[in-house]
Amino acid sequence: MSTRLSPTRVALYVLLVLISLVYLIPIYMTFITALKPPAEINLETAWIPSRHLYWASFADAFNRMFPNLRNSLILTFFGTILSALLGSLNGYVLSKWRFRGANLIFTLMLFGMFIPYQIILIPLFQTLRNMHLYGGLPGLILAHVVYGIPITTLIFRNFYVQIPNEVVESASLDGAGFFEIYRRIVFPLSWLGMVVVVIWQFTQIWNDFLFGVTLTNHEWQPITVALAYLAGGQAVQWNLPMAGSILAALPPLLIYIIFGRYFISGLLAGSVKG
Amino acid sequence: MRSRKDRLFAILVLSPSIVLLGLFVYWFIGQTIYISFTDWGKVAPLAAHPPIHFVGLENYKTLFTGILEGRFRQDLVNTFFFTLFFVLGSIGLGLFLAILLDREPKGKGFFRTLFLYPMSLSFIVTGTIWRWLLAPRGGVNVLPRLVGLPALRFEWTNSRTQILQFDWQDLPKLTVLVVAAVLAFLVVRNLRRGRKWQGLFTGIPAVGLVLWYVFGGDLIPSAGLLFPEKHGFNLAIIGIIIAAIWQFSGYTMALYLAGLRGIPEELRESARIDGCNEFQMYRRVALPLLKPITLSAVIILGHISLKTFDLVFAMTGPDHASTDMPSVLMFIRTFRGNQFAIGAAIAVVLFILVALVVIPYLFSALRARSST
Amino acid sequence: MRFMKLATIILVTIGLLALTGAVFADQKKLTGKLEIFSWWAGDEGPALQALIDLYKAQHPDVQVINATVAGGSGINAKAVLKTRMLGGNPPDSFQVHAGQELIGTWVVANRMEDLTWLFQQQGWMDAFPKGLLALLSTDKGIWSVPVNIHRSNVLWYIPANLEKWGVTPPKTWDEFLQIAPKLQAQGIIPLALGTTWTAEHLWESVALSVLGPDKWDALWKGELSFTSPEMLKVWDLFGKILQYTNSDASSLSWQQATDLVVNGKAAFNVMGDWAAGYMFTTLKLQPKKDFGWEASPGTDGVFMMLSDSFGLPIGAPDRDNAIAWLELLGSKEGQDTFNPLKGSISARLDSDLSKYNIYSQSAAADWQKDTIVGSLVHGVVANERFMDGFATVMDMFLNSRDPSQAANASEAIALQSGIGK
């Protein structure tokens, strides 16, 4: 199986390297543009890096986006944790507790995943305002948690379906109730499912722009709005938004690097078949 | 045994989600549907209490037969082709990458993270970068020069070439043909499996439709437009497809990697013992086992593609009909043109499209699930 | 008795003085918040910030919130603003293009306060040109305070390059159509163009040259039909001009189109005078020496304007603060602080031209004497519904190059949007 340096093996590595280069092209472009002074940014010389690396873009972008970094971190942290918890509980109920209409409820929940966000923007705004939640992070977090319920429930439900019913049955025969079973059996087994959910929700919430810009006041806007600001203006100085996007992409990238392999294991452990 | 108290807990735990989704999803959808049946957007749409009148299906008629909304119909065609190639491409590339990584090369972790990372970027960032990369003047067209070849001359998103052209007026006729073809396929399959009665039941309508098309073709109603309207596959979409595949093939790769890892080693060994080489092993053993993954990937990618907004907007701006999608049109009609009712109608159509893709999957998934 | 009288007089005088003091103190001492909504971001930020600093110096107790929404060519800002207004949460004042973009959206919806009293109080009826005032008003009042003026119909070129190629800036489009083939033969793009809105921008210069200011106004009053022979001529000429533009136009931003001219790949570019700001500030080119300009062919003597302005929404949470903001915006000091940084010119006729660069001075001189008409693409003469539909018509025309199709479509949209009603 692991024959070294056979022609197929070489071909494999060549293919991988070539494809990797293709994947890296956009990153390359982003980096060299971020490192150019504005006057040098031109379609003609787009591929050619600047002679002198203009590191000021990163410092400048960082300074401008910094206040929003706090907002994004709080938003994403709480949004992800809350969606994960809610999804886990929902998934537990829908996979281990049969009752009439459970399937219907699951379908209806799932359907919520598929709405495009532009449709519900105005009613969402009005509703949050009526709830006195407009303007700050709690309202935004609520919006993300609500629209994250379908996907997190789906992931956890498929994950928990893998837990054999006998385990749950025997626990309840021992006298464990609803919450004990969750606490002692289901929750400790959720690690991989959590990873998938955390990665997915973190990415979604961190990268969201539309909700972030509409539902919050100026001081509570997330980092995506600051990024759009950098790319605004009459004559965009592209080194700034390019540097800004690199910085803004670091936290999700970090999450992917650290948890990437668990993502795959998590998908294997159950969400895959769903 | 499940006590009644536990059942109560179960429903209580579920109820916040039910209430929240009921409000934030279903009530909002209801509102949107209602707005689509009114003329909000006619006079002073932004007033504190705008005058609203019920107009029934008027907005939908405008969308599907009005002269000025040819762009909407093109968007539908665009989104069809985009979804088709995006899903096929992502699945194909994802599967290919998964198989490559399944061979356990050195540095597997690095490659895996590399292919996965585009998913962590926001669509807005991806769109802006790919816009630069696909500018005909600079961008990837210039790359071959690095190895001494002449520059590419493809216009990417600027392309005004359209292939597979058809006239929108012929759409009902084409639908009849497609339905007949699907039925014919089912007939053949039924007969092959020896299901004679089902073969008959599908065969009769199939033959009937074909006869209708051939002999009574003119009796099939046209699509209701005043003039013939050409639509087709805009080559400009290819640029968007490439950017979208770049972003999402990591996800399908992860799905397939997980699936491949889930194939028991014994199955692979027995295939090898039977004399299959690696390629055949994948084709005969692995692929069929990966079918459920393929299905779920198709659904997820399909609905993402129907919702695509940020990517298209960032790559080609708000007024580029050859790459336009219904979600972009909905956004600008509502917030730039103040036509809230038309925007709502487009949203409802989008919604129905997503439902068409998703509902069959949900049915089959639940039917399988209920046997667990 | 006399003592009582004296005492009363003294008390009343003290009372009156105290009252006057209180009134004056009230006028100066504004507190609370002021939320300004705009889409000025990036390089436009410093100009707005300078105005805000000026305001804070005058009213130190007011907390100014600079609520900018950038991105999406202004559509994101519109989405947020409209969502807020529909949700009953108006900002104290918001940036909007002067003219029909404001009137056709917000004024007809009864969302704005009439500012005639403010204009009269501040003496603006004489400080701004009559042509401008006409575009800001309806028969029910004046609706916004213009902060700046940009010009739409400008032709840009690099003098050194033109000399090299042996051409001069064309005074009419016919002249352009004559020299264009010569430029093409040398491998130069005669006219640089960018994405769809820049094509609309070019279109309005072409239309102005064919129609002249009077017929242009008539078009938007509903007196000239979009399917009239003049309009067909416009589309016809526009189609001919398009043949001499770059084929990758729709993938280029307006700056990238300007870059083509600066890099010597193209000869001319029709763009608003923010191009001057780009070339001067970002590319560090000198006006008149490194880059040159003319009125776009056939429009000499006509100033096609667009203006960023601020209005007073009904129900503004901090109305007094907002009014003070508007007063600052329309003042000479406010305008001459903002505009040199923004790269536009003051709307006032008494602007201090020493603060501006060479291009702006020439533009200001034209502003004083030229006939003023409004831009289509930048929201002066047509409401948002028309502009939204027109963008689709333009994209259609770029594909099909069919004048009668475009003319019919524009007529249909004009009817739907109520142009001229």
Hey, are the CB atoms on C391 and B319 less than 8 Å from each other? yes
At residue B1, the pLDDT reads 47
At residue B41, the pLDDT reads 63
**C161-207 residue pLDDT tens:** 999 999 999 999 999 999 999 999 999 999 999 999 999 999 999 99
Task: Give a yes or no: residue B20 inside a domain.
Answer: no
For residues C21 and C28, what is the distance between their CA atoms, to the nearest angstrom?
11
Q: Read off the CATH number of the domain in which B98 is found.
A: 1.10.3720.10
Hey, are the CB atoms on C83 and A121 less than 8 Å from each other? yes
Containing structural domain, residue C69: 30-150+308-369
Above 50 in pLDDT, residue C26? no
Are C171 and C294 contained in the same domain?
yes
**A169-198 residue pLDDT tens:** 888 788 777 888 888 888 888 888 888 889
Q: Is the CB of residue A117 less than 8 Å away from at least one CB of chain C?
A: no
Q: Is the CB of residue B153 less than 8 Å away from at least one CB of chain C?
A: no
Hey, are the CB atoms on A228 and C76 less than 8 Å from each other? yes
Hey, are the CB atoms on A236 and C79 less than 8 Å from each other? no
The count of domains in chain C is 2
Touching A: B residues 250-279, CB under 8 Å: 254-255, 257-259, 261-262
Task: Give a yes or no: residue C23 inside a domain.
Answer: no
Q: Are B118 and A260 in contact (CB under 8 A)?
A: no
Task: Give a yes or no: residue B106 inside a domain.
Answer: yes
Show which subunits contact A, needing at least 3 CB pairs below 8 angstroms: B, C
Above 90 in pLDDT, residue C55? yes
Of A15, A19, A89, the CB nearest to B13: A89
Task: Give a yes or no: residue B309 inside a domain.
Answer: yes
Task: Give a yes or no: residue B25 inside a domain.
Answer: no
Are C138 and C281 contained in the same domain?
no
Q: Is the CB of residue B13 less than 8 Å away from at least one CB of chain C?
A: no
Task: Give a yes or no: residue C301 inside a domain.
Answer: yes
Cβ neighbors of B82 (< 8 A, separation 6 or more) are B237, B240, B241, B244, B305, B308, B325
**B225-262 residue pLDDT tens:** 777 788 888 889 999 999 999 999 988 998 888 888 87
* C-interface mutation test, from B230, B234, B237, B336, most C Cβ less than 10 A away: B336
Hey, are the CB atoms on A90 and B257 less than 8 Å from each other? no
Q: Any bridge partners for residue B162, and if so which?
A: B234
Are C271 and C349 contained in the same domain?
no
Position C238 confidence tier, pLDDT thresholds 50, 70, 90? very high
Hey, are the CB atoms on A260 and B303 less than 8 Å from each other? no
Above 50 in pLDDT, residue C236? yes
Q: Any bridge partners for residue C192, and if so which?
A: C269
The count of domains in chain B is 1
Hey, are the CB atoms on B366 and A99 less than 8 Å from each other? no
Hey, are the CB atoms on B137 and C252 less than 8 Å from each other? yes
Task: Give a yes or no: residue C210 inside a domain.
Answer: yes
Q: Which residues of chain C are within 8 Å of residue A229 when distances are taken between CB atoms?
A: 41-42, 68, 70-71
Are C106 and C247 contained in the same domain?
no
Task: Give a yes or no: residue B258 inside a domain.
Answer: yes
Q: Is the CB of residue A32 less than 8 Å away from at least one CB of chain C?
A: no
Q: Are C107 and C138 in contact (CB under 8 A)?
A: yes
Task: Give a yes or no: residue C8 inside a domain.
Answer: no
Are C206 and C217 contained in the same domain?
yes
**C357-387 residue pLDDT tens:** 999 999 999 999 999 999 999 999 999 999 9
Which residue has better confidence, C353 or B198?
Answer: C353
At residue A274, the pLDDT reads 39
Token pair 């960023």 is found at: C308
Its pTM stands at 0.86
Above 80 in pLDDT, residue B316? yes
ipTM: 0.84
Task: Give a yes or no: residue C264 inside a domain.
Answer: yes
Are C272 and C349 contained in the same domain?
no
Position B161 confidence tier, pLDDT thresholds 50, 70, 90? confident
Q: Is the CB of residue A213 less than 8 Å away from at least one CB of chain C?
A: yes
Are C269 and C341 contained in the same domain?
no
* B-interface mutation test, from A21, A23, A174, most B Cβ less than 10 A away: A23
Task: Give a yes or no: residue B153 inside a domain.
Answer: yes
Q: Read off the CATH number of the domain in which C341 is found.
A: 3.40.190.10
At residue A273, the pLDDT reads 45
Are C76 and C130 contained in the same domain?
yes
Q: Could you tell me which of A231, A267, A201 has the C-alpha nearest to residue A65?
A: A231
Task: Give a yes or no: residue C137 inside a domain.
Answer: yes
Are C292 and C312 contained in the same domain?
no
Containing structural domain, residue B280: 77-161+235-329
Q: Is the CB of residue C73 less than 8 Å away from at least one CB of chain B?
A: yes
Q: Nearest chain B residue to C389 by CA: give it.
A: B337
Of A46, A208, A261, the CB nearest to B132: A46
Touching A: B residues 352-371, CB under 8 Å: 354-355, 358, 362, 365-366, 369-370
Burial (CB count <10 Å: 0-12, 13-18, 19+), residue C151 = buried
Are C285 and C328 contained in the same domain?
no
Rounded percentage of chain C residues whose pLDDT exceeds 90:
72
Are C61 and C203 contained in the same domain?
no
For residues C395 and C408, what is the distance between their CA atoms, to the nearest angstrom?
14
Domains, chain A: 55-273 (1.10.3720.10)
Are C134 and C224 contained in the same domain?
no
Within 13 Å of residue B306, how many CA atoms lie on the same side as its CB? 22
Hey, are the CB atoms on B131 and C250 less than 8 Å from each other? no
Segment A70-98 shows an average pLDDT of 91
